[in-house]
Amino acid sequence: MARIAFIGLGNMGGPMAANLVKAGHHVCGFDLSVASVAAAEDGGVTAARTLADAVNGGEGMHGGHPGGHGGGRADCVITMLPKGEHVLSVWHALAALLSEGASEDMLLIDCSTIDVQSAREAHGLADAMGCLSLDAPVSGGTVGASAGTLTFMAGGSSAAFDKGEPILAAMGKRIVHCGEAGAGQAAKICNNMILGISMIGVAEAFALGEKLGLSHQALFDVASTSSGQCWALTTNCPVPGPVPTSPANRDYRPGFAASLMLKDLNLSQEAAGQSGAATPLGRHASELYAAFEKAGHGAEDFSAIINLLRERAG
């Protein structure tokens, strides 16, 4: 079993770290938020007061913790943080920490959703430390994080993937090696661009159907078994009724918040700009979600974008 330092114990990281503990790994966790660290302790994670403590197995706390890494340095460091800037700041701190005696056996995995360029920069830092590294963003949300059913999209060398796969398997049910450094983040933002665009498409169809006097159920019955079928319709339907488990049935409580969709769409636009790809619908989708967030709806499920369309129709 591995000795793992887990950095970032928020909505996703907390339950992911708990699943690593359940699988028998020794997990030492650090977060800037004391409340998040305390919640992770309930899941069996050993609390660390600093990044250095987490990497050293909690040795800086209480003179060594019985549930820590058993006195040894972590074999694997996982980060689950908001944005690229947070990931790079932690990985820079790791580089300083590991400058004496960095181990080629150590694996660094970033599971956050960040821009491709920062992900590649993070891999560069790991190379300089002599560590293996993976960018391994996830889909499946907080429900998947708790249930251990996340999908991981991994980028990095085959050696890093072979080493990381059994660790990621404790937190997810599907682990895909997408290619070299940054390929995991690339897959994540491409997938979520499809999702953002298709949700707006489904919402537009329901908004048009309403104007034409078509019932929600009738449109759902046809489109869900025809060529309009997609996840945004059949699982996260933007109107209440046809899919009882969709957020539309609970006043659009997320689910997947519109602000997170906007973040991912903005990442796709950043990547499109840098790589020279044409993504006109992705750009328009990000503009619509930006307007929706600006109007104060960022905390609602992203399917609530149908209300923006209804408002625009007057």
User: Counting contacts by CB under 6 A, is residue 118 touching ligand NAD?
Assistant: no
| H helix count then E strand count, the chain | 13, 9
Residue 173 known to be catalytic: no
Find the helix packing angle between 280-292 and 305-313, rounded to 10°: 90
User: Counting contacts by CB under 6 A, is residue 90 touching ligand NAD?
Assistant: yes
Q: Which residue is nearest to ligand NAD (CB)?
A: 10
DSSP secondary structure string for all residues of 136-182:
--EESHHHHHHHT-EEEEEES-HHHHHHHHHHHTTTEEEEEEEESTT
Which residues between 31 and 70 bind ligand NAD (CB under 6 A)?
31-33, 36
User: Counting contacts by CB under 6 A, is residue 19 touching ligand NAD?
Assistant: no
* # chain residues binding ligand NAD, by CB under 6 A: 25
Beta carbon of residue 7, minimum distance to ligand NAD (angstroms, whole number): 5
Beta carbon of residue 13, minimum distance to ligand NAD (angstroms, whole number): 5
Beta carbon of residue 314, minimum distance to ligand NAD (angstroms, whole number): 33
Among 2, 4, 5, 7, binds ligand NAD (CB under 6 A): 7
User: Counting contacts by CB under 6 A, is residue 117 touching ligand NAD?
Assistant: no
Beta carbon of residue 168, minimum distance to ligand NAD (angstroms, whole number): 14
Q: Say which residue the tokens 């996840």 belong to.
A: 231
The per-residue b/e assignment along 168-198, b for 16 or more CB within 10 angstroms, e otherwise, is: bebbbeebebbeebbbbbbbbbbbbbbbbbb
Which residues between 94 and 113 bind ligand NAD (CB under 6 A)?
112-113
CB-based contacts of 126, cutoff 8 Å, min separation 6: 91, 108, 132, 133
Q: Give the separation between CA 288 and CA 37, rounded to whole angstroms.
A: 36
Residues noted as catalytic: 188
* Site residues, ligand NAD (CB under 6 A): 7-13, 30-33, 36, 80-82, 86, 89-90, 112-113, 138, 141-142, 256, 260
